[in-house]
Amino acid sequence: MDKLKALIFDLDGVIVTTEHNHFIAWKRTAESLGIPFEEEHNELLKGVSRVDSLKKILELGSKTISTEEFNALLISKNEFYVDSIQDLNQSDLLPGVLSLLEEARSKGIKLGIGSSSKNANFILKLLKIDHFFDVVIDGNGVEHPKPHPEVFLNGAKALSLAPAECIVFEDAASGITAAKAGGFIAIAVGNPNIAELADTYFNDLTEFSLEAYA
């Protein structure tokens, strides 16, 4: 890669444990439609936008519903989810996150978020880590959700950097696909199912060393 200038992080499942909260909220939604929903089904939804996630759940159950019901389910899923994360705090950060943010900052490496979530800014504030990031691109700022590379390309553009100068950290197949399609170095974290898709795999961010890319 070119000289490392920035780290761009997915949020849910890379920075913070919220992927589990999404799973519980989608499970409740799916089961209200009579569709069984377990961890293996949730794997298909990781990194996927709210609208596309509900479409995938309906596909899973071979079900069609009215636009009104679809929109009402999106609202109730999000209300349940947001309610479940009210007590989120720094103890919910995944291992190695805080020290990596601090180290990168001290070395002048730019930091970004590239998330499909429309709740990203709210979560960063809850965690009191919003001040670390030079750019936050979230589900409100993209036309084409992951696996399209737009979210990461917009992040690199906002930082005035080329993709080859940035590392993307992801826990989802859709996110690794997006990062690779955009020309970024793609590191998978905490999800062995996607290790093969990525340039490198780490169990968590404590295993990542900035020195190795300096």
**Enzyme catalytic residues:** 10, 12
Q: Does residue 118 bind ligand BG6 (CB under 6 A)?
A: yes
Pair 116, 137: CB distance under 8 Å: no
For ligand BG6, how many residues bind (rule: CB under 6 A)? 20
Select from ligand BG6, Mg ion, none the partner in contact with residue 45, using the beta carbon and a kind-dependent cut-off of 5 to 8 Å.
Answer: ligand BG6
Considering only residues 149 through 178, tell me which ones interact with ligand BG6, judged by CB under 6 A: 172
| Out of 4, 16, 53, 135, the residue judged to bind ligand BG6 by CB under 6 A | 53
* 78 CB neighbour count, 10 Å cutoff: 16
Nearest by Cα to 53 from 136, 122, 113, 117: 117
Select from Mg ion, ligand BG6, none the partner in contact with residue 117, using the beta carbon and a kind-dependent cut-off of 5 to 8 Å.
Answer: ligand BG6
The Cα 13–Cα 20 span in angstroms is 8
Stretch that binds ligand BG6, among 1-9, 48-56, 88-96, 186-194 (CB under 6 A): 48-56
The Cα 3–Cα 44 span in angstroms is 33
* β-strand pairing of 110-114 with 135-137: parallel
DSSP state of 133: -
Positive or negative, the CA dihedral 92, 190, 96, 129 is negative
Shortest Cβ 172–ligand BG6 spacing (Å):
6
Q: First CA to last CA across the chain, in angstroms?
A: 11
Stretch that binds ligand BG6, among 27-35, 45-53, 96-104, 159-167 (CB under 6 A): 45-53
For Mg ion, how many residues bind (rule: CB under 5 A)? 6
Considering only residues 2 through 41, tell me which ones interact with ligand BG6, judged by CB under 6 A: 11-13, 19, 22
Q: Does residue 145 bind Mg ion (CB under 5 A)?
A: no
Q: Does residue 171 bind Mg ion (CB under 5 A)?
A: yes
Under DSSP, is residue 114 helix (H, G, I), strand (E, B) or coil?
A: strand
32 or 97: CB nearest Mg ion: 97
Place of tokens 């001040």: 131
Residues of the shown chain interacting with ligand BG6 in the complex, contacts defined by CB under 6 A: 11-13, 19, 22, 45-50, 53, 78, 115-119, 139, 172
